[in-house]
Structure 1
Amino acid sequence: MQRSQSHAAPVATSEPLPGLRTLVPVIMLMAVTYVFYGWDRLVMPVELVEIRRTLNLDQKAAGFMASIFTLGIAVLSLPAGILVARLGLKRALGISTLVFSCGTLLSGMANTVPMLVAGRLATGAGESLFSIALLMIIVALFPRWRGTAIGGATAIFGLSMFVGPRMVLAMQDMGGGDWRFPFKLMGGAGVATGLCLLLFVPDRLQAEEAAPAILGDFSWLRSRPLQAVYVMAAANGLCCYAYMSLFQTYARIGQHLTPTQASLAFGCFGIGNILGGVPIGLVLDRTDRFRGVAILSALTGLTGAALFMWSLHETSAIVFSLIFGVGIGGIYGNCYALARENAPAARASLAIGVLLTVYYLAASTSGYVFVLAMGDDFTANLRGALLMFLLPYTLAACVMFATKRA
């Protein structure tokens, strides 16, 4: 296999990067923030049964609500790509954390559906800016090992997925059984970390691009490899968030697993992210990333379909969730690396912004599409599993293979 081509450029900074003693605490602080970012996404899936009862939602409306925050990410990812370059990484990280944490707090105060929607959209808006800033830091610090470094970030996210469902349930117990309390607790903690990021991230930490350009030549977006990467990102966003948003409800209602069993299986999906992120990134950094992602996509589609086409018990839910998480984690990180490698260095944040827009637009429909494919009763069925998981990943893999041959 041929080594994938990289358009890496040196980190464009007017000053040298901060020393290790400065960077390690900052990276640790960003990792803590990323954990809150991950846990916020779990409150709705874990608490969805209770939220449905409180707000009197039907199954399709509940599925839509479970992934609605991703619409905020999708809508603002393009302007966020420009804002990150204009604000600088320090302010982008701090401000975005404050915005998504305030959205989480608002969700915790919601007594009506419109108020909850507003809170989730605000959370998504902040997370769009945060995602781009975080990824720009990673590719700036590790230009030769992008896939591996982003896989490391995916591992942090996966760890938060593993412990997150049980943490949400524990926080709910702390709040006397109120589903709103985890939102309030994490929103407050997120505000504190946002203020710390504004105070402690060095000003001279810069992204790879020297200056943002809003107007100019956008012909690079017509690159066939880049368009193929965006197709893959759309498939991955749709299927990943279908699982993340509704697996626990599916397991409890349709498969009659207990909340603890469903949360354990979901947590193993997070472990799969950890196992898939760094090792797959390391392999694809040294081989052919494009073809490797295409092969991984086909295998992930098979695993996702297997998870939902048969009746589940605790062991099968754990095993298939773990393997599915490995594929999701590997595709996720390497799509970012491919977007960066197939875009001009001066448009890196914008290329990632487009990727996030595509990924989260697909994700925002995932809950509704999952209910359409699997049915309101959430029973396992072959047709729904093939349509929901195998078809998108197979089509994306075919597009990437066709592009590679062209």
Structure 2
Amino acid sequence: MNHAAQLDTSAAPAPNKADIDEAPLGRTLVAVGFLVLTLSYMINAMDRQVLPPLLPNIREEYGFSLEQGGLLATNFTLGMALAGLPAGYLLDRFRRKTVLLVSIVIYSLGTMATPLASGFADMTAYRVLSGFGEGMQSAAIFAAVGAYFARRRGLAFGIIGAGYSLGVFISPLIGVRLMNTHGSWHSPFYLFGAAGLVIAAIAVFAVKTGLTERSVEQVVSSRTYEYMPESPYNRNTIALAVHSIVSGVAIYGFIGLYPTFLITSLHFTPAQAALAMSFLGFGGMLAIFGGWLGDRVNQRNLLILSLLACSVISVCIYQLHGGVGWQCLLAFLMGVFGLGFLYPNTNSAIQRAVRPEQIGRASGLFVTSYYGTAAFSGLIFATLVENFGWRQAGLLQVTLLPLAGVLAMTFVRTSRFNNAVR
């Protein structure tokens, strides 16, 4: 479906909007601010994905079971889910930039605290704390970018998603290299946490409120939205939320234990597993194309095709196995469709399913639904592996589960999106 030429609006996030510069930002300031936001989301991804390739060493040091390791690999998403709806509430009432800066500090401190854990309980707490900050940041970034780049929301989300995928790409390589160099898995957590604090300090000056706080007073639009549901929790958003839950469980279950699968089942070295994991992030960089495409075609159909593609790729990964080159190719394709197509288009679609002033709540709903059950996806996957083996576990969670998302997407009506051609 072609994107209608209109400007979207966001809820007024700051009660003291008089302090916000009403003058339009120049292209340079917008570009610099957008770059810093993208870099901050890249560090977000590095913090999230540093643990999976190091998990075998962490399990050995602490004596964690596979189920405990699987939970640690994905339980940060519980914090993200807990942050989603509260962040949506805050974003509709306070400055997005403030929420953004606080969130970066929270997840950076949580990441730096992880190596200080004495056991499973406090490591879990640090991971959930980190996820809480990451969830706040996700909601803040996508609410701000979704409002400012309303005409090209999908493309803008795709660029942010490419930054995230770049973080997924380099995090395993840097993490394993640092672990091998220093003989400890601790140093990557300290490095990535410190990088987050640095980017937060840069964002104070480089990210202007004119970029993050676009509100109804700053956007003139003659478009009306009477054809859309009044509630942000409508047929479209509920169907997209169900799809988000399914996608989160399938994709994060895969990401969280993919390196462990390669090492324990296919007998890859940690460096080979990290290389394959990096190709997942490399594929996710096509989020720029995926987001651009989502602005120009029917997003419901694009999401359905992406889910089906993930199912097919999963069959190849867990049933056909193959060597390092084969797994790198398949990981790349999973990154293309799982990170590059599903993530930015689900995120932008759920914002298009609500009226412009409800963007903050839509962003929070996406974070909660996508990451809520994903927190337990690693545990679920590990339990399936223990009971049925890798082949059957992959079939159940990463191959068949996305088909439930396809079913949910059949209830979506893009004719009631806020970018529908009327």
Q: TM-score, normalised by structure 2?
A: 0.87
1:402 deviates by 4.2
**How do residues 5-404 of structure 1 correspond to structure 2 at under 5 angstroms?**
8-10=7-9, 15-174=22-181, 176-210=182-216, 220-275=231-286, 277-328=287-338, 329-375=340-386, 380-381=390-391, 383-404=392-413
Distance 2:32 2:105 in 1: 19
Corresponding residue of 1:215: none
Asked if the contact 1:108/1:182 (under 8 Å) is kept, the reply is no
- Look up the equivalent residue of 2:145 and give its one-letter code: I
1:81 deviates by 1.1
Residues 3 and 300 of structure 1: is their aligned pair in 2 closer, same or farther, counting only changes over 3 Å? same
Asked if the contact 1:71/1:364 (under 8 Å) is kept, the reply is yes
Distance 1:102 1:123 in 2: 7
Residues 319 and 209 of structure 1: is their aligned pair in 2 closer, same or farther, counting only changes over 3 Å? same
SS of the residue 2:151 aligns to: coil
SS of the residue 2:268 aligns to: coil
Asked if the contact 1:272/1:326 (under 8 Å) is kept, the reply is yes
Distance 2:97 2:76 in 1: 24
Residues 405 and 395 of structure 1: is their aligned pair in 2 closer, same or farther, counting only changes over 3 Å? farther
1:10 deviates by 4.6
SS of the residue 1:255 aligns to: coil
Distance 2:239 2:156 in 1: 22
Structure 2 spans left out of the alignment, 5+ residues:
13-19, 218-228, 416-422
Asked if the contact 2:303/2:342 (under 8 Å) is kept, the reply is yes
Asked if the contact 1:151/1:281 (under 8 Å) is kept, the reply is yes
Q: TM-score, normalised by structure 1?
A: 0.90
Corresponding residue of 1:214: none
Asked if the contact 2:111/2:127 (under 8 Å) is kept, the reply is yes
SS of the residue 1:204 aligns to: helix
Cα deviation digits, residues 112-145 of structure 1 (max 9, x gap) = 2222122111111111111111112221232111
Count of aligned positions: 395
Asked if the contact 1:234/1:359 (under 8 Å) is kept, the reply is yes
Residues 209 and 20 of structure 1: is their aligned pair in 2 closer, same or farther, counting only changes over 3 Å? closer
SS of the residue 2:50 aligns to: helix
1:208 deviates by 4.8
Cα deviation digits, residues 152-183 of structure 1 (max 9, x gap) = 11111112222221111222245x22112211
Asked if the contact 1:305/1:388 (under 8 Å) is kept, the reply is no
Structure 1 spans left out of the alignment, 5+ residues:
212-217
Distance 1:231 1:327 in 2: 18
Distance 1:339 1:405 in 2: 11
- Look up the equivalent residue of 1:308 and give its one-letter code: Y
Distance 1:84 1:177 in 2: 42
Distance 1:145 1:316 in 2: 35
Distance 1:233 1:14 in 2: 36
Residues 171 and 35 of structure 1: is their aligned pair in 2 closer, same or farther, counting only changes over 3 Å? farther
- Look up the equivalent residue of 1:388 and give its one-letter code: Q
Residues 130 and 222 of structure 1: is their aligned pair in 2 closer, same or farther, counting only changes over 3 Å? closer
Cα deviation digits, residues 184-203 of structure 1 (max 9, x gap) = 12212211221222233223
Distance 1:286 1:34 in 2: 25
Asked if the contact 2:321/2:327 (under 8 Å) is kept, the reply is no
SS of the residue 2:231 aligns to: helix
Asked if the contact 2:8/2:151 (under 8 Å) is kept, the reply is no
Residues 219 and 305 of structure 1: is their aligned pair in 2 closer, same or farther, counting only changes over 3 Å? farther
Corresponding residue of 2:419: none
Residues 78 and 36 of structure 1: is their aligned pair in 2 closer, same or farther, counting only changes over 3 Å? same
1:288 deviates by 0.9
Asked if the contact 2:232/2:361 (under 8 Å) is kept, the reply is no
1:404 deviates by 4.4
Residues 149 and 204 of structure 1: is their aligned pair in 2 closer, same or farther, counting only changes over 3 Å? closer
Asked if the contact 1:294/1:400 (under 8 Å) is kept, the reply is yes
